[in-house]
Amino acid sequence: MEAATETEHPVSSSAAEDRLLVERAQAGDTRAFDELVRKYTPKLYGLVYNMTSNRDDTADLLQEIFAKAYRSLKRFMGKSSFYTWIYSISVNMTLNFLKKRGRYAKVSLDDVDSGIQNDPDFIKITTANRDTVREVNIHELQKRLNEALMKLSEDHRTVVTLYDVQGLQHNEIAKILGVSEGTVRSRLFYAHRLLQSYLEDLVK
């Protein structure tokens, strides 16, 4: 169950570096904020993209997220880490966006990185269950996975994205979402059960 422990921690040990950049940005150094944007764009892209499943929406929403973060930076007191703060902004803005967008979503999938061929997870899946998964090519797998994720509610998709894809810990997710760890665990449990049923033929 502790998938996050196996993955690379998203913030590594850069909290101090972030704090310095934030202080410089608060003092009016726009290049310092550019550094923060450069650093967090790939991580937040993954979060927003996996919640919206649309490339254009993700790019537009990310612009809005960083613009809002920049405008609110003066009010950031440093009580939480910058990454928790920016993740909270991202999750809230994405959930608001999804509510406005409703069900009329146009799904556009990103290309799969060629590195997937060497990924241990991908190799294990395609070798351990030869009878089922070998029939599925990468793009089919991507499509099935996205369809399954889009069937989840927004709250469930958010915790799955943060935990399984982004590799955050339960307590970090709880801070970002402003809920208890118990709620995070229960949402994850329910979401995993649903995904197992949607992807039954792939996971057996």
Partner 1 sequence: MSEFDNLQRIIRLKRFETPGEDFVEDFVARFRERQRSELLRQSARGLLWERMVTFWEDLVSPRMTMAAATTCVALVATWGALKINGSHQDASVPNVLAVTEPVPGTLSSQPSLAVQSELIREVEQGRQLEIEGILLSRHFDGHEAPVAAAEGVVGVSGDALPVSVELLPIDGLIR
Contact residues toward partner 1 (CB under 8 A) are 1, 3, 7, 30, 33-34, 37-38, 41-42, 45-46, 49-50, 55, 58-59, 62-63, 66-67, 70, 109-113, 115-116, 119, 121-122, 124-125, 128-129, 141-142, 145, 149, 160-161, 164-165, 192, 195-196, 199, 202-204
At closest approach, how far in Å is the CB of 13 from partner 1?
A: 21
**Cα 28 to Cα 11: distance, rounded to the nearest angstrom:** 24
**Pick from 159, 184, 189: which is nearest to 171 by CA?**
184
Cβ closer to partner 1: 63 or 178? 63
Q: Report in angstroms how near the CB of residue 129 gets to partner 1 at its nearest.
A: 7
Residue closer to partner 1 by CB (options 157, 175) is 157
As a whole number of angstroms, the distance between CA 48 and CA 91 comes to 8
How far apart CA 173 and CA 102 sit, in angstroms, is 24
| Burial call 179-196: b when 16+ CB within 10 Å, e when fewer | eeeebbbebbeebbebbe
Both tokens assigned to 199: 């992807």
Task: In angstroms, give the least distance from the CB of 119 to partner 1.
Answer: 7
Nearer to partner 1, 102 or 122 (CB): 122
Based on CB atoms, which residue is closest to partner 1, 95 or 145?
A: 145
* Shorter beta-carbon distance to partner 1: residue 97 or 163: 163
Closest separation in Å from C-beta 46 to partner 1: 7
Tell me the torsion sign for CA atoms 144, 147, 150, 152.
Answer: negative
**What are phi and psi for residue 27, nearest 5 degrees?**
-80, 0
Write the burial class of residue 17 (CB in 10 Å: 0-12 exposed, 13-18 middle, 19+ buried): middle
Taking the complex as a whole, how short is the minimal distance between the CB of residue 157 and partner 1, in angstroms? 11
